[in-house]
């Protein structure tokens, strides 16, 4: 697929078109603004705060040159569809929503997009790219901040648009400045953002920026899969973000669906997962999944058990560790933050535990990408021969603890997602790493320093979102949310490494609204 960079003239022409279209859109958007709709009919302009000059949408300059884009086409792993999204974002500089099933490379593409935008000289500064996600864990995964933190109006769920705007304008000048200077807003895991929240933020953006353009002219990069975890709201009938009144105006023609699945290679597993995603398991699929209740055989690692609740996870990890007859070592996290509140928040969303209890022989999962670590490539290296190799291990790699030292842990990591004996192991010294919750300006609110390992015997389905697991046992007994079974099952990378317990057809549920939305994209 060839993609041309828009010339400046074309951009200006597009801009003229956009400004005339934007007048129409702005009327529609104004009528969607929950507060404004209640008020008497006024011209949309009249509602712009007199203290702010009307924000003008400048033609957006490409974030990368067409030569740099060609280079990516030729040398990166990105597929044609992933490149099409990148082109719309970085060359055309338009707002984009892209989606796709589990393992289609949404996060992979997002990190490339963020990298290109943050290193672009066309944007005022890297801070003008705000990277957000609706939950703490998703925010830490994407090295961004939570949407709440970006907004700067505390827990705004029950507040009106007026109240949020007032709060930011009067009490949070830093947030006001941020809303006015941000050029790109990234929202990952949008399936967990409710439609009401999306509409509120859209209206807040227009009000604070004094602009009639959708989202006040901020370029949006929004991604997620509406068949995965649903909006976080007590209300069972919370609207999805795609049901927001302002959604269509924000993305217009820019919705992309990634179809190629990378996490799994097995055609049968891919077909089964696609059916479960849509909540449409056929008889054949149901009996196939039931046949997966057999134990996983021949694997050199123990399966990671996925549970719906945290208590089940904690109990399973402790029980398994107790069975190892070795001395235990405790690694306490070093936590600090500007307020205890943020330290608590970090503790809730960080996969690295506050107290990491390990024993030689314990099976662990790596919680950071490690690059160029000190290690050795042979299976049983003499430890005096440590050398710095260019060994890279991905977040999610599974290994076995060899030795627990004072402030580091020696681990044998397996070098493949396959599970058969005879795998090469890489012995690596794992040292402390950092996790932070950031505020929207990128400064640290709280930081945890811990050995980037956790016991890999059990994990909660919520915390497994985004992970790839080569050997996994999914217990669906206490699954309670739509999409939860799909999230759990789609972590598996291969059939021989997947066991499914307590499955029945009623666990396969997809929200009808999501089904209709995806049908409308076909
Ligand atoms: N173009 C690509 N070429 C090769 N590998 C890719 C490509 N895109 C993604 N991958 C790999 O596929 C795997 C799944 O990708 P990723 O985690 O980005 O999927 P996802 O859509 O975000 O999944 P989920 O919705 O489950 O979080 C990762 O190991 C990633 O490195």
**Lowest mean pLDDT segment, chosen from 51-65, 353-367, 500-514:** 51-65
Please report the pLDDT score of residue 50 as a whole number: 32
Please report the pLDDT score of residue 230 as a whole number: 85
Q: Report the nearest-CA residue for atom 9 of ligand 1.
A: 105
With a 6 A CB cut-off, is 102 part of the ligand 1 pocket? yes
Q: Give the distance (Å) from ligand 1 centre to CA of residue 23.
A: 39
Q: What is the mean pLDDT of residues 425-438?
A: 86
315-364 residue pLDDT tens: 999 999 999 999 999 999 999 999 898 898 888 778 888 999 999 999 99
Please report the pLDDT score of residue 49 as a whole number: 37
Q: Give the distance (Å) from ligand 1 centre to CA of residue 111.
A: 11
Sheet holding 370-376, edge to edge: 387-393, 370-376, 425-431, 408-414, 398-404, 363-366, 453-455
Dist. CA 449–CA 407, nearest whole Å: 11
Please report the pLDDT score of residue 37 as a whole number: 45
In 61-179, where do the E strands start and end?
Answer: 96-100, 129-133, 145-146
Q: Would you say the ipTM is above 0.85?
A: yes
Residue 372 confidence class, pLDDT cut points 50, 70, 90: low
CATH of 66-258, one of 3.40.50.300, 3.40.50.360, 3.40.50.2000, 3.40.50.10190: 3.40.50.300
Residue with tokens 């598996």: 492
227-247 residue pLDDT tens: 998 887 655 678 999 999 999
Q: Report the nearest-CA residue for atom 27 of ligand 1.
A: 466
Q: What is the mean pLDDT of residues 264-290?
A: 92
| Residue environment code for 189-218, b if the CB has 16+ CB neighbours within 10 A, otherwise e | bbbbbbbbbbbbbbbbbbbbbbbbbbbbbb
Please report the pLDDT score of residue 294 as a whole number: 94
Q: Give the distance (Å) from ligand 1 centre to CA of residue 384.
A: 37
Q: Give the distance (Å) from ligand 1 centre to CA of residue 260.
A: 10
CATH 3.40.50.300: which residues of the chain? Answer: 66-258
Percent of the chain scoring above 90 in pLDDT: 53
Q: What is the mean pLDDT of residues 374-393?
A: 51
Please report the pLDDT score of residue 99 as a whole number: 97
Dist. CA 321–CA 27, nearest whole Å: 62
Pocket test for ligand 1, best of 75, 107, 192 (most atoms within 8 A of CB): 107
Q: Give the distance (Å) from ligand 1 centre to CA of residue 278.
A: 20
Half-sphere exposure of 94 (CA within 13 A, CB side): 22
Please report the pLDDT score of residue 392 as a whole number: 64
Burial of 423 (0-12, 13-18, 19+ CB in 10 A): middle
Neighbouring residues of 222: CB distance < 8 A, sequence distance ≥ 6: 95, 96, 97, 98, 186, 187, 190, 241, 250, 251
For the chain, the average pLDDT equals 82
Q: Give the distance (Å) from ligand 1 centre to CA of residue 263.
A: 6
- Considering only residues 480 and 297, tell me which one the structure prediction assigns the higher pLDDT: 297
92-134 residue pLDDT tens: 999 999 999 999 999 999 999 999 999 999 888 898 999 999 9
Answer whether 487's CB lies under 8 Å from 465's CB. yes
With a 6 A CB cut-off, is 107 part of the ligand 1 pocket? yes
Find, among 248, 259, 264, the residue nearest to 85 by Cα.
259
Dist. CA 90–CA 121, nearest whole Å: 12
Structure tokens at 403: 């030795």
Dist. CA 96–CA 256, nearest whole Å: 8
Ranges 43-52, 53-62, 130-139, 170-179, most confident: 170-179
Please report the pLDDT score of residue 407 as a whole number: 92
With a 6 A CB cut-off, is 263 part of the ligand 1 pocket? yes
Please report the pLDDT score of residue 55 as a whole number: 41
Please report the pLDDT score of residue 389 as a whole number: 52
Q: Give the distance (Å) from ligand 1 centre to CA of residue 341.
A: 34
Q: Report the nearest-CA residue for atom 26 of ligand 1.
A: 102
- Does residue 47 carry a pLDDT above 70? no
Phi/psi for 338 (5° steps) reads: -75, -20
Q: Which atom of ligand 1 is nearest to the CA of 466?
A: 27
Query: What's this model's pTM, rounded to 2 decimal places?
Result: 0.79
Find, among 514, 521, 522, 516, the residue nearest to 225 by Cα.
514
In angstroms, how far is CA 210 from the centroid of its own chain? 30
Please report the pLDDT score of residue 444 as a whole number: 85
Q: Report the nearest-CA residue for atom 25 of ligand 1.
A: 102
Dist. CA 262–CA 183, nearest whole Å: 31
- Sequence-distant contacts of 119-126: CB under 8 A, at least 24 apart: 120/63, 120/64, 120/90, 122/61, 122/62, 122/63, 123/63, 123/183, 123/184, 124/181, 124/183
- Considering only residues 21 and 510, tell me which one the structure prediction assigns the higher pLDDT: 510
Answer whether 494's CB lies under 8 Å from 265's CB. yes
186-210 residue pLDDT tens: 999 999 999 999 999 999 999 999 9
């Amino acid at each position: 697929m060839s993609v041309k960079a828009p010339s400046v003239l074309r951009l200006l022409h597009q801009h003229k078109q956009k400004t005339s279209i934007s007048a129409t859109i702005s009327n529609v958007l104004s009528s969607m603004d929950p507060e404004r709709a209640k008020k008497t009919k006024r011209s949309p302009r009249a509602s712009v705060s007199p203290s702010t000059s009307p924000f003008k949408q400048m033609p957006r300059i490409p974030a990368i040159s067409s030569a740099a884009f060609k280079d990516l086409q030729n040398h990166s792993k990105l597929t044609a569809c992933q490149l099409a999204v990148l082109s719309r974002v970085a060359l055309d500089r338009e707002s984009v929503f892209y989606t796709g099933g589990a393992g289609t490379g949404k996060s992979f593409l997002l990190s490339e997009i963020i990298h290109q935008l943050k290193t672009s000289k066309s944007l005022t500064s890297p801070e003008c790219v705000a990277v957000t996600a609706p939950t703490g864990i998703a925010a830490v995964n994407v090295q961004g901040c939570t949407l709440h933190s970006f907004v700067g109006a505390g827990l705004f769920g029950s507040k009106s648009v007026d109240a949020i705007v007032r709060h930011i304008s009067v009490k949070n000048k830093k947030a006001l400045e941020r809303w006015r200077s941000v050029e790109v807003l990234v929202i990952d895991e949008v399936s967990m953002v409710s439609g009401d929240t999306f509409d509120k933020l859209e209206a807040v953006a227009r009000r604070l920026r004094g602009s009639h353009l959708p989202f006040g002219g901020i370029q949006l990069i929004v991604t997620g899969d509406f068949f995965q975890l649903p909006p976080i709201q007590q209300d069972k009938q919370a609207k999805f973000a795609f049901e927001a009144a302002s959604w269509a105006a924000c993305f217009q023609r820019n919705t992309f669906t990634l179809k190629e699945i990378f996490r799994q290679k097995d055609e049968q597993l891919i077909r089964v997962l696609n059916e479960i995603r849509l909540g449409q398991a056929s008889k054949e699929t149901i009996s196939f999944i039931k046949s997966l209740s057999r134990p996983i055989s021949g694997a050199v690692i123990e399966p990671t058990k996925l549970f719906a609740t945290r208590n089940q996870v904690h109990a399973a990890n402790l029980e398994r560790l107790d069975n190892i007859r070795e001395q235990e070592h405790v690694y306490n996290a070093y936590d600090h933050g500007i307020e205890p509140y943020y330290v608590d928040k970090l503790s809730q969303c960080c996969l690295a535990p506050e107290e990491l209890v390990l024993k030689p022989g314990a099976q662990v999962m790596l919680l950071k990408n490690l690059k160029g670590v000190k290690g050795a490539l042979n299976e049983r290296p003499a430890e005096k021969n440590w050398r710095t190799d260019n060994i890279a291990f991905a977040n999610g790699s599974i290994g076995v603890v060899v030795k627990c030292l004072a402030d580091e842990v020696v681990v044998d990591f397996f070098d493949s997602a396959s599970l058969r004996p005879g795998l090469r192991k890489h012995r690596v010294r794992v040292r402390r790493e950092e996790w932070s919750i950031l505020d929207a300006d990128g400064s640290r609110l709280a930081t945890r320093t811990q050995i980037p390992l956790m016991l890999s015997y059990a994990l909660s389905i919520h915390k497994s979102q985004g992970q790839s697991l080569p050997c996994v046992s999914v217990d669906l007994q206490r699954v309670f949310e739509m999409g939860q079974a799909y999230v759990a099952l789609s972590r598996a990378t291969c059939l021989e490494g997947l066991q499914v317990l307590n499955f029945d057809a009623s666990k396969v549920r997809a929200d009808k609204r999501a089904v209709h939305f995806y049908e409308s994209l076909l």
